[in-house]
Each structure stands twice: as C-alpha cells, then as structure tokens.
Amino acid sequence: MNELSSRSHSVFTLKVEASSTTAGGVTSTRVARLNLIDLAGSERQTFDPHHPSAHESIRVKEAGAINRSLSALTNVIMSLSRSRRKSSAGQRQPFVRYRDSKLTFLLRDSLGGNSKTVIVACISPSAMCFGETLSTLKFAARAKHIRCA
C-alpha cells in the first residue's frame, strides 16, 4: 500500500532450477524454492476523533491490510491443521483458501505442498506484551500441527 512504510510483510524468494538430460535425450528439471517471510505484527489502531489526519487514515488502511492478510494466513493454517486431523480419522478434507490474500497465495507450496517449513515465532517476556505473545504462541502451536504432503 505505502512503499515508504516499514510496517508490512517482507517476502524474499530464491528459486533454483537444475536441468539434466539423459543419454536417451530425456530432460528432467528439478526445482527448489526458498521463501523467507518476515510477517508484520498484528496492528491495533487507536483513533483520536479530535485530531483526524490524512496520515492516520493511511496508517489505518495499512493496519487493515496487514490484519486481513494475517487473518487469511491464520485461516489457512487452521484449515491445514484440521485437514491433518480429519485425514487421520478418514473424513473428507476441508478446502484450503489460499487465494484469500496475496501472502497465502505466495506461501501455498510452502504450507501445503511437498516442502519443509520452519516457523520462528518471536515473543517478548514483557508483561506489557502478554496478549501479543499469547497470540503468537497459539499461532505457532496451530502451525506445528501441519504436515506437508
């Protein structure tokens, strides 16, 4: 939304392809992709009706976009963790909504494909950050239950 803002997700993708041709002339290609994602934290806005400004409205829009993508990522992770439980019980697997945000669409192969995924959850020991820390730990616990194909 705002290219000057540092309050956003960062995505770095490295894609490596290796091709080889057999003596029979058959070419095979192997592809590896490394996604490094730094998620912005959930944004809570306080609005002062006595001092509205254009800058505040931009911040509110940015915060809304960040929160929508984090919510979509949470929904995907919840669907995938439910999917694992249902497949072990022999039930039909739920539909995973990767297209709800650009972030989840970019991460679809890393979350539900043939991949290895590592999530580093940053938390704070401060009592002032208890709510955010608890939310982050719950998110990491749900993500821990995902098993890629």
Residue that wins the pLDDT comparison between 105 and 8: 105
Residue that wins the pLDDT comparison between 23 and 112: 23
75 pLDDT exceeds 80?
yes
- DSSP for 86-97 reads HHHHTPPPPPP-
Give domain 10-144's CATH superfamily: Kinesin motor domain (3.40.850.10)
The per-residue pLDDT for 1 is: 44
Which of 30-39, 80-89, 109-118 is predicted least confidently? 80-89
Domain boundaries defined on the chain: 10-144
Q: Which amino acid is at 25?
A: G
Taking residues 98-123, what's their average pLDDT? Answer: 87
For residue 12, what pLDDT band results from cuts at 50, 70 and 90? very high
Cα→Cα distances 73→16, 44, 57, 108, Å: 26, 18, 24, 10
For residue 20, what pLDDT band results from cuts at 50, 70 and 90? very high
8-state DSSP, 101: S
Q: Report the range out of 2-11, 78-87, 92-101, 123-132 with the highest average pLDDT.
A: 123-132
Q: Is the pTM of this model over 0.75?
A: no
105 pLDDT exceeds 80?
yes
Q: Which long-range contacts (CB under 8 A, 24 or more apart) does 30-37 make?
A: 33/109, 33/110, 35/11, 35/106, 35/107, 35/110, 36/11, 36/12, 37/9, 37/10, 37/11, 37/12, 37/103, 37/107
